[in-house]
Amino acid sequence: MLSIFEPLLDIPVVYYGALLGVGFCIYYLFEVVKTPMLVCANGPFREFLEKHVPLVRNKFWPTLWCFESRAQTVIASVLRSRILPPIHYRREILTLSDGGEVALDWAEEGCSAVSPIVIILPGLTGASQAEYIKCLVSSAKKVGIRCVIFNNRGLGGVELKTPRTYCAANSDDLTEVVDYVKKIHPNVLLGATGISMGGLILGNYLARQGKIAKNKLKGCFLISVPWNVFAATKSTEENYFNLILNKYLAFSLRQQVKRLHYSSESGMFDVDIDSLLKSQTVREFDSQFTVKQFGYKDVEDYYSNATIHDKLHLIDVPLLCLSAADDPFQPVQAIPLKEISQTKKIAVVVTSRGGHIGFMEGMWPVKEEQYMGKLFSQFFTALFTTNLEHQLL
């Protein structure tokens, strides 16, 4: 029996390596590199995207050596944070109606007083210097679009003035920010972008404001938004590797609240801080903190209020979304593809790979402008230079 395999032992090892390499390349070309799925009802918005946003028609080439979902998620963050230089912003502190303060960081170098503006909402614990924010700002700068990053309460180096922070379901602060930017720039075209949890805040704002938002924002863009919060938390709690990401986020949230709480001698928050600091997952943190902060009955009540997959029919502003089918925070089956396919003003681009806010492409992804940045700039450039709203009437 062994004599059958003896000839194989004489084959140089390099040949086996070459065979494996060829097999890997075939797998990459046929199973990894794919044209993104564009989901949107037939009509003016879909035609607009297919005509003016080339990326929706082109294949997405994920980084050859890093296309696994968790690897895209983590390595993209690490590489961008090391490669992209800090952005120089003009900071403006906005005092809200309840006395709270948020930082608005303006990226407007090279832009004029009439250049369009995009408000950017970072993710769960992100702020203006987050690597994915810098990626978008770099892309916007190349096409002459101003960006203003809305840093949530207590983030971006701003002192917390009230014992209230922020959550995915509450868009009150965003409402004030949009109204303020619109007030000081009444004749300038305005858009908005939300990343991850920032996408939930923006999505909830659009759903609750309805036609009112249409008079303020020309269009919006969501990146890696967890459409269904219940499915997102379940996905990050059941899979071991996803759970590691979940625990890291919970750790970041604990550290943030700890810092803010002890910034006051008497303690900033009316919570059992010791129990809170034992939270191991985002769900446990939300149960101990977010639910109590915003008066929800329980975490299920909060997540039901935060999720946007069932609110799409309320959105009246042209909305483009970017999701990856392998996003560890949002399984593809939880993306409301059927509902989106029936809407006239919402579209989602779903790449086969990309992880969560990853979307690294190319052999060595060190360029400032990556896939999500290019989609961002192509979409808003087209949006601000065409009469899409008249076509959607």
Task: Identify the three-state secondary structure at position 106.
Answer: strand
Q: Which of 232, 241, 176 is nearest to 200 (CA)?
A: 232
Q: Which residue in 105, 173, 326, 327 is the catalytic one?
A: 327
Does 301 participate in catalysis according to the annotation? no
In the DSSP assignment, the letter for residue 207 is H
* Cα–Cα distance measured from residue 55 to residue 335, given in angstroms and rounded to the nearest whole number: 20
Give the Cα separation of 159 and 181 in Å (integer): 22
What values do phi and psi take at 38, rounded to 5?
Answer: -105, 115
Angle 165-167-168 from CA coordinates, rounded to 5°: 160
261 is catalytic: no
Torsional class of 195: left (φ above 0), alpha (ψ -120 to 50), beta (otherwise): beta
Residue of 128, 196, 279, 377 marked active site? 196
Give the Cα separation of 81 and 62 in Å (integer). Answer: 19
> What tokens does 87 get?
């952005």
The yes-or-no answer on residue 313 being catalytic is no
Tokens of 94: 């906005």
Could you give the C-alpha distances from 366 to 27, 32, 337, in angstroms and in order? 24, 20, 32
d(CA 118, CA 98): 25
| Per annotation, catalytic residue among 279, 323, 356, 377 | 356
Amino acid identity, position 102: V
* Closest residue by Cα to residue 43 from 346, 309, 316, 336: 346
Q: Active-site residues: which are they?
A: 196, 327, 356
